[in-house]
Amino acid sequence: MSHLGEFGFIDALSARLEAQAGGIGIGDDAAAWQPTPGCVTVATTDMLVEGIHFNLDWTTPLDLGWKALAVNLSDLAAMGARPGRALVSVAMLPEQADLILRVYEGMSELAHLTGTRVVGGDTVRTPGPIVINVALVGEADPGRLLRRDGARPGDLLALTGPVGASAAGLDLLSRGDLAAQARPEAASLLSAHHRPWPQLAAGSALAGLGLHCAIDVSDGVASEAAHIARASGVAIEIETERIPLSPDAVALLGVEKARHLALSGGEDYQLLFAVPEARLAEVVAALPGGAPPAVVGRVTGEAPGGTVTLTESGRRVQLARSGYTAF
């Protein structure tokens, strides 16, 4: 940082990103672009704090950059929105400049793959841990937003794909289990944790069908189902044995732990969505990738305040921990 200075460092960050097209990007007092006619704007922001949301002992700067953008893209996917522009702010020590440049390289990689443009942000000095904040703006078609409050009695609850892999990868890393990390099955779990893929295509497909309810699985299936139940004012029953698990998580950790991590671990960024039973075949045909969604439960009725019941083989089960919370 000493040889670059603040503005030289900003130039170095900008050089790691694709050039802004159709507007003003990095280098002015604010970014600007022309909104798309006939679209609604969708915005989200997410903050990652070193020691709480990531650990540099086992996370590379490239993976950190990828994930910092991915978690925001997943929020847009859960709304059925398309990505657009991002503003990235970083709090760091001056001697961490090279590390942050690599973070931007990882972020730029995912931005390129998803059609996202990083158009500005801020950099500040901090005596504490690294903090990365991404604010992301996207667009959606009017009347085609997926929301948490759209579940209705009789709807099925389904997942776009397997869950629990990311939490299983984190479990291997946090326990320092080098022998397990070296096993072939661990590769997919570590990749799921370090480089999650936001389900943008699936979210767009669900919104395009006119469905109304989805959420991304960032904090575990049980927690996300509770968010839907509360927002929609409904009772939800989840059959835990129907939750699609990562085969590699089952192979390394056993089915019981893999299922627990799927329910409470999070960071899978699959979508949990509600669909009328009569429209399930449409969803199967519309979702990309060829793998059908997994029906894991249903909305059993109205319930002010929302309730979620977990069952296994017809019997009610309790979780010691329902999902990640910030406080």
* Beta carbons of 324 and 268 less than 8 angstroms apart: no
Residues 11-17, mean pLDDT to the nearest whole number: 74
pLDDT band at 179 (very low <50, low <70, confident <90, very high): very high
Dist CA 95 CA 1 (whole Å): 6
pLDDT in tens, 212-232: 999 999 999 999 999 999 999
pLDDT at 14 over 80: no
Alpha carbon 286 to its chain centroid, in Å, reads 21
Closest CA to 168 of 144, 155, 185, 149: 185
- What contacts 27, CB < 8 A, 6 or more positions away? 10, 14
CA–CA dist 92, 90 (Å, integer): 6
- Mean pLDDT score of the chain, rounded to an integer? 92
Domains 5-140 and 148-317 share a fold: no
Tell whether the model's pLDDT for residue 24 goes beyond 90. Answer: no
Contacts of 198 (CB under 8 A, 6+ apart): 70, 71, 73, 74, 76, 77, 114, 216, 269
CA distance linking residue 25 with residue 129, whole number of Å: 28
Q: What pLDDT sits at residue 273?
A: 98
Q: What is the DSSP letter of 291?
A: P
pLDDT band at 11 (very low <50, low <70, confident <90, very high): confident
In angstroms, the CA 62 to CA 156 distance is 38
Q: Is the pLDDT of residue 38 over 50?
A: yes
pLDDT for 79 beyond 60: yes
Query: Domain ranges in the chain?
Result: 5-140, 148-317
**pLDDT tens digits along 275-324:** 999 999 999 999 998 779 999 999 999 999 999 999 998 899 886 555 55
- Tell me, which fold does domain 148-317 have in CATH? Phosphoribosyl-aminoimidazole Synthetase; Chain A, domain 2 (3.90.650)
| 187/168 Cα distance (integer angstroms) | 11
Checking if the pLDDT of 269 tops 90, the result is yes
Q: What strands, in cross-sheet order, belong to the sheet with 315-317?
A: 213-216, 271-276, 155-159, 294-302, 234-239, 307-312, 315-317
pLDDT at 237: 97
pLDDT at 35: 85
Please give the average per-residue pLDDT across 63-77, as a whole number: 98
* pLDDT on residue 20: 62
pLDDT of 262 reads 96
pLDDT value of residue 317: 86
pLDDT in tens, 227-259: 999 999 999 999 999 999 999 999 999 999 999
Residue 327 is predicted with a pLDDT of 44
**Element (H or E) spanning 238, and its range?**
strand 234-239
pLDDT at 32: 80
User: pLDDT at residue 155 above 70?
Assistant: yes
Q: Which fold is adopted by the domain 5-140?
A: 60s Ribosomal Protein L30; Chain: A; (3.30.1330)
